[in-house]
Amino acid sequence: MATRSVAMGLVETHGHPEAGGHATRPKDLLGAAVNAVILSIGTELVRGLRLDTHARDVARALADLGVDVLRHETLDDDADAIAEAFRRAAAADAVIATGGLGPTQDDCTRHGLAAAMDVPLVEHPEAARHLEAWTKARRRTISPSNRVQTLLPEGAEVLPNPIGTAVGIAARLGDAHIFCLPGVPGEMRAMLDEHVLPRLRQATPGRVTRVRTVRTFGLPESVIGERLADLMTAGRPTRLGTACHAGLIDVHIHTTGDPDEADRLLEADAAAVRERLGAAVFGEGEETIEAAVARLLDAQGATVALAESCTGGLIASKLVAVPGMSEHLLEGVVAYSNAAKVRSLGVPEEMLEEYGAVSEPVVCAMAEGIRDRAGADYALAVTGIAGPGGGTREKPVGTVWFAMADASDTEVICERLHGDRPLVRERSANYALNMLRLRLG
């Protein structure tokens, strides 16, 4: 019996030393950067019948250990495709594959791995014992199709399954450490935690991946990219990326390494990002734009009222989600019809007739009307066309007017927001909240 890579504690291989196609591992993983590829195997994933949540879960768990995840691949239950994917992925230090270890014809991960390793599938005594014990404990009989689950590529190691019939597989392919886990979510998670993560943790002592998020609103992604260009170049110890949703643009900063050093690098980059993006930055981490507004209202002891048309109460709902808002939000009116705009906000009827509900004078009158009636320091008003119907040539879908009134003046702006109805409403709410944030800030 040949046992390799004991120092790394990752995968012990049994049997032929050449089984993995290598004799010694040239690179010692201990304390070094470790990278990984994640393979999600299952026809239902490729066809879109089921969302691949394992790749996300495995990636997060690996990132916590400071393992660099190079890529995710989603594969059909096809032995040739699986074999090829394993060969390609073996350029990484570790490969974590999930799915396709079951007893049915379509489960062929073990076949693909054996082909990639160029070894036969052989019955593994430990896998056979596991299957016998599992079926006996449940007073079941082993069906002939279950027998395939006792077959492992020659030289591979069993990863015990505490819950199900399918054992996992650990093997070497070239320099790579391969781990195959069942697709059943509970089994996958249990075996990842019990067998895979501890081995990777040994290989990455003292390494962590840290992520910091700086949240912005108001600058286009392209401008953010230009201002942060030098921080985004390859070869720096941190990696920066942007992600946008409903007008909010997050700048994520990642780094992997020693925890103190990682914190120091992230702090330096976050400070640079905040400085370069200026007033567009409203918070960090999970902080929402409404929470940022609430913080500012709190600091100033100010009050606000809302007049919402196309957002239908979304701004109020967002603000009310922040604890302590009863001190600051006096009133929110959803004035969806013209009649309601007249009755509840005091918008002149003639104004609605002359300019239409989605117009500059009307949005100003809405903001000023609710501010007066509620007796608030600030008022926000929104009126627009969320779609999909209701657009015209002059006022296409996504045309939204915003107004923010305080004691001194009323600021008004028109935006053409893109996206479907939910997105236009979400962006509009964020946009209005951002106007107030900038005024308060």
Contact 379, 305 (CB under 8 A): yes
Q: Is 5 in the site for ligand ATP (CB under 6 A)?
A: no
**In angstroms, what is the minimal distance from the CB of 180 to ligand ATP?**
8
Q: 83 Cβ partners below 8 Å, 6+ apart?
A: 111, 112, 113, 115, 116
Q: Residue 99 or residue 164: which is nearer to Mg ion going by CB? A: 99
Report 283-342 residues binding Mg ion (CB under 5 A): none
Instruction: Draw the binding track, 405-434, toward ligand ATP (x: CB under 6 A; -: no contact).
Output: ------------------------------
Q: Is 84 in the site for ligand ATP (CB under 6 A)?
A: no
Q: Is 131 in the site for ligand ATP (CB under 6 A)?
A: no
Q: Are strands 121-123 and 68-75 parallel, antiparallel or unpaired?
A: unpaired
Amino acid found at 100 = G
**In angstroms, what is the minimal distance from the CB of 124 to Mg ion?**
21
Q: Is 42 in the site for Mg ion (CB under 5 A)?
A: yes
Q: Which of 10, 20, 40 is nearest to 181 (CA)?
A: 40
Amino acid found at 364 = C
Q: Is 112 in the site for Mg ion (CB under 5 A)?
A: no
Q: 251 Cβ partners below 8 Å, 6+ apart?
A: 213, 214, 215, 216, 224, 228, 240, 241, 242, 273, 277
Q: Is 76 in the site for ligand ATP (CB under 6 A)?
A: no
Report 87-106 residues binding ligand ATP (CB under 6 A): 98-102
Q: According to CB under 6 A, which one of 40, 216, 256, 311 is a site residue for ligand ATP?
A: 40
Helices (H), 74-171: 79-89, 109-117, 125-137
Q: Is 99 in the site for Mg ion (CB under 5 A)?
A: yes
Q: Are strands 304-308 and 248-257 parallel, antiparallel or unpaired?
A: unpaired
Report 128-187 residues binding Mg ion (CB under 5 A): 183
Torsion angle in degrees (nearest 10) through CA of 158, 160, 161, 167: 10
Residues facing residue 379 across a β-bridge? 305, 405
Residue 192: DSSP 8-state: I
**In angstroms, what is the minimal distance from the CB of 43 to Mg ion?**
7
- Give counts: helices (H), strands (E), the chain: 15, 17
The three-point CA angle 266-272-277 to 5° equals 125
Q: Residue 57 or residue 298: which is nearer to ligand ATP going by CB? A: 57
Residue 52's binding partner out of Mg ion, ligand ATP, none, with CB under 5 to 8 Å set by partner kind: ligand ATP
Q: Residue 120 or residue 185: which is nearer to ligand ATP going by CB? A: 185
Dist CA 362 CA 400 (whole Å) = 12
Q: Is 247 in the site for Mg ion (CB under 5 A)?
A: no
Instruction: Draw the binding track, 175-214, toward ligand ATP (x: CB under 6 A; -: no contact).
Output: -------xxxx-----------------------------
Using CB under 6 A, which of the segments 45-53, 125-133, 134-142, 293-301 binds ligand ATP? 45-53
Residue nearest to ligand ATP (CB): 102
Q: Residue 48 or residue 301: which is nearer to Mg ion going by CB? A: 48
Contact 116, 86 (CB under 8 A): yes
Which residues of the shown chain bind ligand ATP in the complex (CB under 6 A)?
A: 40, 42, 44-45, 50, 52-54, 98-102, 107, 164-166, 182-185
Binding site for Mg ion (CB under 5 A): 42, 99-100, 183
